[in-house]
Chain A
Amino acid sequence: MIRRITRLAPCLALAGCAGVQSALDPASDQASSVFGIWSLMLWICGVMYALVLAFLAAAIWKARHRLSGPPIAEGQKSPADRPLTRVLTGWVGLTVVGLLVLTFGSFLVDRQLALADQKNAQTIKITANQWWWKVEYDDPVPGRRFVTANELHLPVDRPARIELEAGDVIHSFWVPNLGGKQDLIPGRTNRLLVTPRRVGLFRGQCAEFCGLQHAWMALDVTVEPQTAFAAWAEAQRRAPAPPSTPEALRGRDVFIGAACNSCHQVTGQPAQGQTGPDLTHMASRPSLAAGARPYSRQALDEWLRDPQALKPGNHMPLVATRADERAALVAYLDTLK
């Protein structure tokens, strides 16, 4: 029923606003259900609004001639009292019916979301920190688990059970094309189920105010076919190829020497820091600094030149002060694919 209304959606004009971060362009079961209830709401509320405006316009139009005469006080019965009171009762009844339909529709969708099929779900744990996302892919075999940051890959047509935790303050996980948001609260674990139905690149963003860089706390989401996902996961589990050029080798020494490794992790290197994003495959990610810039060597260079210029207030210090050191560092980091 709700599906059918979706197809009749009155918001075709808005649905034209397809985008990588849009609630009007659903790409999962969950987002489609919500889009359905949105369309139902828009219809019913639209009709109610039109009724109110029509009545108001009629009242103003009707009044254009009668401007004088004594006022009608309490007790001086107006002939219109009775019919108006009846219409008022009818109006209240109509409101009640409209609200009942909406409440029931909303309840059905909510139930549908709660009882969604979780068989064969991929479990992913996401931990939000100021101002980046840690993403952990669970696996029954401990050696097959892996960690990434600020990017999320999901296989199409397979439910993903996302466990949400926060490392510092409250954040909110929200990828509009894939469904509603859920808060990440320190001391609690929340869960969100997503069943992607369309391959594509999407963008998510923190939706609960979390401090200075709330605006630049985004997440790149790739929904891809099962095989592509498996290949990506396999690549994530491998350590990146060790640096081979002299500059990249020097860059690795800078990375270790300048204590980048005390916050960041790179599998296969003496870098086990946990307070910052995992960098093992950073050069293969679509963007830099939680969605602040598309990834490129040049963007990386700018970021390292002054991390506080791009994302003022973030927790990344200036490490490579000399230009040649920075160039080496960029060369090394760019090998982390």
Chain B
Amino acid sequence: MTAGQDLEPLEDEALRERLERVWAHPTGWRGVLTAVDHKVIARRYIATAFVFFFLAGVLALLMRAQLARPESHLIGPDRYNQLFSMHGTTMMFLFAVPVMEAIAVYLVPLMCGARNICFPRLNAYGYWVYLFGGIMIWIAFAMNVGPETGWFSYVPLAGPEFSPGKRTDFWAQMVTFTEVAALAVAVQLVAQILKQRAPGMTLSRMPLFLWSMLVTAFMVIFAMPAVMVATTFLITDRLVGTQFYNPAEGGDPLLWQHLFWFFGHPEVYIIFIPALGMVSQIVAAFSRRTILAYPAMVLALLANGFLAFGLWVHHMFATGLPRLGDSFYTSASMMIAIPSGLQIFAWIATIWDGKPRFKTPLLFVIGFIVIFVLGGLTGVMLASVPLDLQVHDTYFVVAHFHYVLIGGAVFPLFGAIYYWFPKITGRLLDERAGVWNFWTFFVGFNVAFFPMHILGLLGMPRRVYTYKAGLGWEVWNLISSLGAVLIAVSMLIFIINVLVSLRRGKVAGDNPWEASSLEWATSSPPPIYNFLRIPVVTGREPLWEGDKLPVMSGLGETERESLCVSIVEAEPDIRQKSAPPTVWPLLAAIATTVLFIGSIFHEWAVVWGAIPVAITLCGWFWPGRPTRKALKERSA
């Protein structure tokens, strides 16, 4: 075959057979336990994250039921505290961050034109660790040892004296589980996006979703260690008597707050920036126009990522830190509105100048703009020290961050699900149910959360299991609870739509939306090797460039391989071996789980628990080739 030649269908067929042999994988239960294909792992990841999302949503409904009336006796304080702690913990650690990374695990290799993710076994390991951590905390919750001190677990309340028992220990180790998983994905995304893009996909041609995931991955790498350090100190304070946070011995509870929010604020952007990438993909595809001001959009993403690390103190304005320092954080916090505002404008302008088709994904993006901008503006208000001192830790803040997180991340996520579902499953979600899903969610959300702004201004603090009658809060709380019911209805529509469409949805074809990025250049769902040949990129919208896709042959056709390219220019460089399926990542994850849970009960578990981890890692990296001895005998 020579370059520039058009291809005959017969050659494609022969190549397909060869690829299927090379990329063959076990089936049945063995296939489930040994999978390393990024699409399989990502599908599990997404499904698991949504299960946690719905579970945490049920907790929210219980809380709204309790708060619908003043001085209600439906749920007692102990149970209620566990409910809101689990709600926050699950949403932040088990849903929001993992689901964004999960979608990236599915899409990034496809958008890069790669055959698999760069570290397939690490990927599988990350998923298992996440799954086991999530199951652990939910079992603990079911057995009444769930977290009780909030997703932020302020010391000394979470310290050994005021939170005796194992509840907070389970919480702290759950954080460790999810951080290990998140970091595993982050490392892969960095390596994948920098080293394993399609030939010709220079940095300036990368889809904005790839840029957003690159920024997110770096943020995970710099932010998550903070919470790991914080929770490690917490758990050693609780288990072996270190004194990091103990004010009686000269420790300081504010050390926890600094470490936690150094992670906690970027965490919000770790959830939000992938959503920005999704929005850019959806807006471009449905407006049928390239995003306006691409370089400015990339710079805005980078600015968001940098600035997010300078804001953590605005969670601590009420702790009595020096006032001058506070003013610095005020201006930094306000500054982050600039790149966000720029992106909002560029999306609207793209719709304005494009040829938009208002399908469900674009509806969710419009909902995102309406809700998120309001949340962003209340965020600007919270950046002001004096105003924050009034509304901090009230329902105003609850309203604000639900506008930012549901509006800013969950709406784009739902748009993304409607957009990429056909790629993942081969079938389209039902459009009419999608429109219902959108409107019930949009209306329900605003009915549930807008009144909370007013509640906060009327003096209602957060995290109260009940409230006094006669303070003017009753009616707003009741409205809010009704809105929550509407959201639940919306979620039911979504679940039914997904389940029905999986079986009976319209068959999608390769590129149902006529979108432009590489994931649409292969079949839906993609084959295990993703692409028949490695696509070559010559512009920002590869599939809008012409009717024939330039490709390169000769990779991964005789053994599992992926392509490494140079970082900036994306010139082909190395044929990198890609790991075959194996059960070792699962075993390593089990060993890790034993270590983490063991350490809750006995401090030396970190030592003896490390031995099985080491053994499983050896199995993981064991070379699958003939030994020296075998080779020598063979040659003799």
Contact = CB atoms under 8 A, between A and B. Distances in A.
Do A and B interact directly, with beta carbons closer than 8 Å? Answer: yes
Interface of A: 14, 17, 19-24, 31, 33-34, 37-38, 41, 45, 48-49, 52-53, 55-56, 58-60, 62-63, 66-75, 78, 80-81, 84-85, 87-88, 91-92, 95-96, 99, 102-103, 105-107, 109-110, 113-114, 130, 168-170, 172, 174, 176, 179-183, 185-188, 190-191, 203, 205-215, 218, 291, 312-313
Interface stretch (B24-32, B258-266, B291-299, B580-588): B291-299
B348 A215 contact: no
B620 interface: no
A179 B380 CA distance: 20
Contacts of A60: 351, 356, 358, 366
A215 B467 contact: yes
Contacts of A211: 81, 149, 157, 162
A103 B458 contact: no
Interface string B372-383: 011001101101
Counting chain A CB atoms within 10 Å of each CB, the highest count among B77, B294, B459, B471 belongs to: B459
Contact of B471 (A19, A48, A183, A190): A19
Contacts of A181: 318, 389-390, 392-393
B352 interface: yes
A336 to B, nearest CB: 24
Interface string B327-364: 10011001101100110111011011111111000000
Contact of A88 (B76, B346, B464, B539): B346
24 contacts: A19-B458, A38-B387, A52-B369, A52-B373, A58-B352, A63-B355, A70-B544, A72-B288, A73-B516, A73-B541, A85-B293, A91-B342, A103-B330, A105-B384, A110-B327, A168-B156, A174-B393, A174-B459, A185-B319, A203-B471, A208-B318, A214-B461, A214-B464, A312-B76
A205 B392 CA distance: 13
B154 interface: yes
B540 A73 contact: yes
Secondary structure dominating the interface of B = helix
Contacts of B161: 168
A186 B380 contact: no
A17 B461 contact: no
A110 B323 CA distance: 8
A190 B253 CA distance: 14
Contacts of B133: none
A39 B320 CA distance: 25
Contact of B370 (A56, A87, A291): A56
A169 B162 contact: yes
B78 interface: yes
Contacts of A71: 288-289, 355, 514, 516, 541, 544
Contacts of B390: 23, 31, 34, 38, 176, 179-181
Contacts, number: 284
A2 to B, nearest CB: 11
Of A103, A114, A218, the most chain B CB neighbours within 10 A belong to A103
B352 A59 contact: yes
A119 to B, nearest CB: 20
B318 A110 contact: no
Contact of B472 (A19, A73, A88, A172): A19
A88 B342 contact: yes
A41 B157 contact: no
B150 interface: yes
A19 B458 CA distance: 7
B202 interface: no
A17 B472 CA distance: 8
A168 B161 CA distance: 9
Given A48-B377, A55-B348, A34 B354 contact: no
B296 A208 contact: no
